Amino acid sequence: MPSPAHDIDSHYPLSADQIARYRDLGFIKLKNVLSPEALAFYGERITALTLDLNPRKGMPMEGRTTYDKAFIQVGNLWLRSHRVREFVMGKRLARIAAELMGTTGVRIWHDQALYKEAGGGFTPWHADQFYWPMATPHSCTAWIPLQATPLEMGPVAFAARSQHYDVGRDLAISDESEKAMTKALAAGGYDVTYEPFDLGEISFHMGWTFHRAQDNTTDQPRKVMTIIYMDEDMRLAKPRNNAQENDRKAWCVDTAIGEVMDSPITPVIWSSRTK
Protein backbone atom coordinates (compact mmCIF):
# COMPACT_ATOMS: atom_id res chain seq x y z
CA MET A 1 0.00 0.00 0.00
CA PRO A 2 1.21 3.55 -0.68
CA SER A 3 2.43 5.48 2.35
CA PRO A 4 0.45 8.57 3.43
CA ALA A 5 3.11 10.73 1.72
CA HIS A 6 2.41 8.87 -1.53
CA ASP A 7 -1.37 9.28 -1.37
CA ILE A 8 -2.98 8.73 -4.78
CA ASP A 9 -6.39 7.41 -3.72
CA SER A 10 -8.01 9.85 -1.30
CA HIS A 11 -10.77 12.24 -2.34
CA TYR A 12 -9.72 15.66 -3.66
CA PRO A 13 -12.78 17.85 -3.02
CA LEU A 14 -13.88 19.98 -5.96
CA SER A 15 -16.04 23.05 -5.58
CA ALA A 16 -19.12 23.68 -7.72
CA ASP A 17 -17.26 26.68 -9.14
CA GLN A 18 -14.30 24.55 -10.23
CA ILE A 19 -16.57 22.04 -11.96
CA ALA A 20 -18.47 24.84 -13.69
CA ARG A 21 -15.20 26.46 -14.76
CA TYR A 22 -13.94 23.21 -16.31
CA ARG A 23 -17.16 22.71 -18.26
CA ASP A 24 -17.15 26.32 -19.44
CA LEU A 25 -13.47 26.68 -20.41
CA GLY A 26 -12.76 23.07 -21.41
CA PHE A 27 -9.88 22.77 -18.93
CA ILE A 28 -8.86 23.54 -15.37
CA LYS A 29 -5.63 23.71 -13.39
CA LEU A 30 -5.79 22.46 -9.80
CA LYS A 31 -3.13 23.08 -7.16
CA ASN A 32 -1.76 20.63 -4.58
CA VAL A 33 -3.39 17.60 -6.17
CA LEU A 34 -0.44 15.28 -5.49
CA SER A 35 2.34 15.68 -2.95
CA PRO A 36 5.99 16.27 -3.93
CA GLU A 37 6.77 12.94 -2.26
CA ALA A 38 4.24 11.05 -4.37
CA LEU A 39 5.45 12.68 -7.59
CA ALA A 40 9.07 11.85 -6.74
CA PHE A 41 8.27 8.26 -5.73
CA TYR A 42 6.24 7.36 -8.81
CA GLY A 43 8.10 9.73 -11.12
CA GLU A 44 11.36 7.90 -10.58
CA ARG A 45 9.97 4.73 -12.19
CA ILE A 46 8.04 6.64 -14.87
CA THR A 47 11.22 8.44 -15.89
CA ALA A 48 13.34 5.29 -15.93
CA LEU A 49 10.84 3.51 -18.18
CA THR A 50 10.38 6.51 -20.46
CA LEU A 51 14.11 6.89 -21.06
CA ASP A 52 14.59 3.15 -21.52
CA LEU A 53 11.77 2.96 -24.10
CA ASN A 54 12.58 6.30 -25.76
CA PRO A 55 11.80 5.87 -29.48
CA ARG A 56 13.97 8.91 -30.29
CA LYS A 57 17.07 7.50 -28.57
CA GLY A 58 20.20 8.48 -30.46
CA MET A 59 18.27 10.65 -32.95
CA PRO A 60 19.85 14.12 -33.35
CA MET A 61 17.39 16.93 -32.74
CA GLU A 62 18.26 18.68 -36.00
CA GLY A 63 17.28 15.61 -38.03
CA ARG A 64 13.81 15.21 -36.52
CA THR A 65 10.36 16.24 -37.69
CA THR A 66 8.40 18.86 -35.76
CA TYR A 67 6.47 16.06 -34.04
CA ASP A 68 9.64 14.19 -33.06
CA LYS A 69 11.25 17.37 -31.72
CA ALA A 70 8.24 18.09 -29.51
CA PHE A 71 8.62 15.26 -26.99
CA ILE A 72 9.61 11.72 -26.13
CA GLN A 73 6.28 9.88 -26.23
CA VAL A 74 5.79 6.49 -24.56
CA GLY A 75 2.35 5.02 -23.79
CA ASN A 76 0.80 2.28 -21.68
CA LEU A 77 3.57 2.37 -19.09
CA TRP A 78 1.09 0.97 -16.57
CA LEU A 79 1.33 -2.39 -18.35
CA ARG A 80 5.11 -2.52 -17.84
CA SER A 81 5.57 -1.69 -14.16
CA HIS A 82 3.73 -2.52 -10.94
CA ARG A 83 4.61 0.90 -9.51
CA VAL A 84 3.38 2.79 -12.56
CA ARG A 85 0.24 0.64 -12.61
CA GLU A 86 -0.41 1.65 -9.00
CA PHE A 87 -0.04 5.31 -9.95
CA VAL A 88 -2.20 5.17 -13.08
CA MET A 89 -4.92 3.23 -11.26
CA GLY A 90 -4.99 5.79 -8.45
CA LYS A 91 -8.53 6.81 -7.57
CA ARG A 92 -7.78 10.44 -6.66
CA LEU A 93 -7.18 11.66 -10.23
CA ALA A 94 -9.80 9.33 -11.70
CA ARG A 95 -12.51 10.66 -9.40
CA ILE A 96 -11.56 14.25 -10.23
CA ALA A 97 -11.96 13.42 -13.94
CA ALA A 98 -15.35 11.78 -13.38
CA GLU A 99 -16.67 14.67 -11.28
CA LEU A 100 -15.44 17.28 -13.76
CA MET A 101 -17.11 15.45 -16.66
CA GLY A 102 -20.25 14.64 -14.69
CA THR A 103 -20.05 10.91 -15.35
CA THR A 104 -20.72 8.11 -12.88
CA GLY A 105 -17.19 6.83 -13.33
CA VAL A 106 -14.19 6.58 -15.63
CA ARG A 107 -12.17 3.99 -17.47
CA ILE A 108 -8.59 4.44 -18.51
CA TRP A 109 -8.07 4.89 -22.23
CA HIS A 110 -4.30 4.92 -21.87
CA ASP A 111 -1.42 6.66 -20.14
CA GLN A 112 1.32 8.52 -21.96
CA ALA A 113 4.65 9.99 -20.86
CA LEU A 114 5.42 13.23 -22.71
CA TYR A 115 8.99 14.26 -21.96
CA LYS A 116 10.11 17.46 -23.72
CA GLU A 117 13.88 17.17 -23.87
CA ALA A 118 16.24 20.04 -23.09
CA GLY A 119 16.18 22.09 -26.28
CA GLY A 120 13.08 20.24 -27.47
CA GLY A 121 10.76 21.94 -29.93
CA PHE A 122 7.23 23.29 -29.65
CA THR A 123 4.11 21.10 -29.59
CA PRO A 124 1.68 22.20 -32.34
CA TRP A 125 -1.96 23.07 -31.72
CA HIS A 126 -4.17 19.98 -31.68
CA ALA A 127 -7.20 18.32 -30.06
CA ASP A 128 -6.59 14.87 -28.61
CA GLN A 129 -9.91 13.31 -29.55
CA PHE A 130 -8.95 13.49 -33.23
CA TYR A 131 -7.07 10.25 -32.44
CA TRP A 132 -9.75 8.42 -30.44
CA PRO A 133 -12.78 6.46 -31.75
CA MET A 134 -15.17 7.63 -29.05
CA ALA A 135 -18.92 8.15 -29.47
CA THR A 136 -19.23 11.14 -27.08
CA PRO A 137 -17.01 14.03 -25.94
CA HIS A 138 -16.72 12.59 -22.41
CA SER A 139 -12.96 12.13 -22.35
CA CYS A 140 -10.49 13.92 -20.11
CA THR A 141 -6.70 14.13 -19.97
CA ALA A 142 -4.85 14.66 -16.70
CA TRP A 143 -1.58 16.50 -17.48
CA ILE A 144 0.77 15.73 -14.59
CA PRO A 145 4.14 17.54 -14.43
CA LEU A 146 6.68 15.63 -12.36
CA GLN A 147 8.52 18.86 -11.53
CA ALA A 148 7.66 22.53 -11.23
CA THR A 149 7.29 23.71 -14.82
CA PRO A 150 8.15 27.32 -15.63
CA LEU A 151 7.24 28.91 -18.96
CA GLU A 152 10.76 28.25 -20.23
CA MET A 153 10.12 24.49 -20.05
CA GLY A 154 7.07 24.61 -22.30
CA PRO A 155 4.01 23.85 -20.14
CA VAL A 156 0.72 23.08 -21.86
CA ALA A 157 -1.32 26.05 -23.05
CA PHE A 158 -5.09 25.94 -23.68
CA ALA A 159 -7.47 27.78 -25.97
CA ALA A 160 -10.38 28.56 -23.65
CA ARG A 161 -13.81 27.29 -24.80
CA SER A 162 -12.32 25.74 -27.94
CA GLN A 163 -13.96 22.40 -27.08
CA HIS A 164 -16.98 23.71 -29.00
CA TYR A 165 -14.98 24.74 -32.08
CA ASP A 166 -15.50 22.51 -35.13
CA VAL A 167 -12.62 23.95 -37.13
CA GLY A 168 -9.46 21.82 -37.08
CA ARG A 169 -11.01 18.63 -35.77
CA ASP A 170 -9.72 16.80 -38.85
CA LEU A 171 -6.10 17.84 -38.27
CA ALA A 172 -3.42 15.61 -36.77
CA ILE A 173 -0.71 17.25 -34.68
CA SER A 174 1.63 18.79 -37.27
CA ASP A 175 3.04 21.96 -38.76
CA GLU A 176 -0.25 22.19 -40.64
CA SER A 177 -2.33 22.09 -37.44
CA GLU A 178 -0.10 24.72 -35.83
CA LYS A 179 -0.44 27.11 -38.76
CA ALA A 180 -4.14 26.53 -39.37
CA MET A 181 -5.23 26.65 -35.73
CA THR A 182 -3.08 29.64 -34.80
CA LYS A 183 -4.93 31.56 -37.50
CA ALA A 184 -8.38 30.06 -36.79
CA LEU A 185 -8.28 30.48 -33.01
CA ALA A 186 -7.11 34.08 -33.35
CA ALA A 187 -9.87 34.82 -35.87
CA GLY A 188 -12.42 33.23 -33.53
CA GLY A 189 -11.28 35.37 -30.60
CA TYR A 190 -10.30 32.44 -28.39
CA ASP A 191 -8.22 33.39 -25.34
CA VAL A 192 -5.08 31.32 -24.77
CA THR A 193 -4.04 30.44 -21.21
CA TYR A 194 -0.29 29.93 -20.96
CA GLU A 195 0.90 29.67 -17.37
CA PRO A 196 3.62 27.90 -15.35
CA PHE A 197 2.78 24.90 -13.18
CA ASP A 198 3.74 24.64 -9.51
CA LEU A 199 4.90 21.29 -8.18
CA GLY A 200 1.77 19.27 -7.45
CA GLU A 201 -0.39 21.35 -9.79
CA ILE A 202 -2.23 19.27 -12.40
CA SER A 203 -4.44 20.25 -15.31
CA PHE A 204 -7.43 18.43 -16.74
CA HIS A 205 -8.68 19.13 -20.25
CA MET A 206 -11.45 17.86 -22.50
CA GLY A 207 -10.70 15.70 -25.52
CA TRP A 208 -11.77 18.43 -27.95
CA THR A 209 -10.03 21.33 -26.19
CA PHE A 210 -7.26 22.68 -28.40
CA HIS A 211 -3.87 22.97 -26.73
CA ARG A 212 -0.18 23.35 -27.53
CA ALA A 213 3.18 23.96 -25.80
CA GLN A 214 6.20 26.14 -26.43
CA ASP A 215 9.69 24.71 -26.80
CA ASN A 216 11.85 23.83 -23.81
CA THR A 217 14.65 26.39 -23.66
CA THR A 218 16.14 25.08 -20.40
CA ASP A 219 18.91 22.53 -19.93
CA GLN A 220 16.56 20.16 -18.09
CA PRO A 221 13.84 17.86 -19.49
CA ARG A 222 10.19 18.74 -18.96
CA LYS A 223 8.94 15.49 -17.42
CA VAL A 224 5.18 15.01 -17.77
CA MET A 225 2.94 11.99 -17.29
CA THR A 226 -0.56 12.00 -18.70
CA ILE A 227 -3.54 9.77 -18.00
CA ILE A 228 -6.46 9.76 -20.42
CA TYR A 229 -9.83 8.93 -18.90
CA MET A 230 -13.18 8.28 -20.58
CA ASP A 231 -16.74 7.83 -19.37
CA GLU A 232 -17.15 4.32 -17.97
CA ASP A 233 -20.09 3.94 -20.40
CA MET A 234 -18.18 5.24 -23.43
CA ARG A 235 -19.15 3.43 -26.64
CA LEU A 236 -16.94 2.71 -29.59
CA ALA A 237 -17.56 4.96 -32.58
CA LYS A 238 -16.79 4.01 -36.15
CA PRO A 239 -13.23 5.24 -36.75
CA ARG A 240 -13.11 8.41 -38.82
CA ASN A 241 -9.41 8.31 -39.74
CA ASN A 242 -6.42 5.97 -39.75
CA ALA A 243 -5.29 7.09 -36.29
CA GLN A 244 -8.65 6.12 -34.79
CA GLU A 245 -8.62 2.80 -36.60
CA ASN A 246 -5.15 2.09 -35.21
CA ASP A 247 -6.34 2.91 -31.69
CA ARG A 248 -9.40 0.68 -32.15
CA LYS A 249 -7.15 -2.23 -33.08
CA ALA A 250 -4.79 -1.53 -30.19
CA TRP A 251 -7.37 -1.11 -27.40
CA CYS A 252 -10.76 -2.39 -28.58
CA VAL A 253 -10.14 -5.04 -31.22
CA ASP A 254 -12.87 -7.29 -29.80
CA THR A 255 -15.39 -4.47 -29.27
CA ALA A 256 -18.11 -3.96 -31.85
CA ILE A 257 -19.04 -0.49 -33.06
CA GLY A 258 -21.64 0.88 -30.63
CA GLU A 259 -20.60 -1.32 -27.72
CA VAL A 260 -19.14 -0.06 -24.44
CA MET A 261 -15.35 0.20 -24.72
CA ASP A 262 -14.77 -2.48 -22.11
CA SER A 263 -11.55 -4.37 -22.76
CA PRO A 264 -8.81 -5.90 -20.57
CA ILE A 265 -6.74 -2.72 -21.02
CA THR A 266 -9.57 -0.20 -20.50
CA PRO A 267 -10.68 -1.08 -16.95
CA VAL A 268 -12.86 1.15 -14.77
CA ILE A 269 -10.63 2.99 -12.30
CA TRP A 270 -13.26 4.81 -10.25
CA SER A 271 -17.03 4.55 -10.22
CA SER A 272 -19.73 5.83 -7.90
CA ARG A 273 -21.64 2.65 -8.68
CA THR A 274 -19.17 0.50 -6.75
CA LYS A 275 -18.87 2.53 -3.55
In the chain, where the domains are located? 18-57+66-256
**pLDDT score at 178:** 97
Q: Which of 145, 157, 234, 223 is nearest to 190 (CA)?
A: 157
What is the model's pLDDT at position 2?
A: 54
The per-residue pLDDT for 275 is: 59
Return the pLDDT at 247.
97
Residue 113: name the closest of 77, 151, 61 by CA.
77
Provide the residue-wise pLDDT of the chain in tens; the chain has 275 residues: 556 679 999 999 999 999 999 999 999 999 999 999 999 999 999 999 999 999 888 888 888 999 989 999 999 999 999 999 999 999 999 999 999 999 999 999 999 999 999 999 999 999 999 999 999 999 999 999 999 999 999 999 999 999 999 999 999 999 999 999 999 999 999 999 999 999 999 999 999 999 999 999 999 999 999 999 999 999 999 999 999 999 999 999 999 999 999 999 999 999 999 85
pLDDT at residue 32, rounded to an integer:
97
- Interatomic CA distance for residues 58 and 249, integer angstroms: 29
What is the structure's pLDDT at 29? 98
Alpha carbon separation from 193 to 39, 185, 264, 267 (Å, rounded)? 24, 13, 37, 32
Q: What CATH code would you report for 18-57+66-256?
A: 2.60.120.620
Q: What does the pLDDT read at residue 47?
A: 97
What pLDDT sits at residue 63? 86
Considering the entire predicted model, what is its pTM?
A: 0.96
Which among 204, 103, 192, 201 is positioned nearest to 146, based on CA atoms? 201
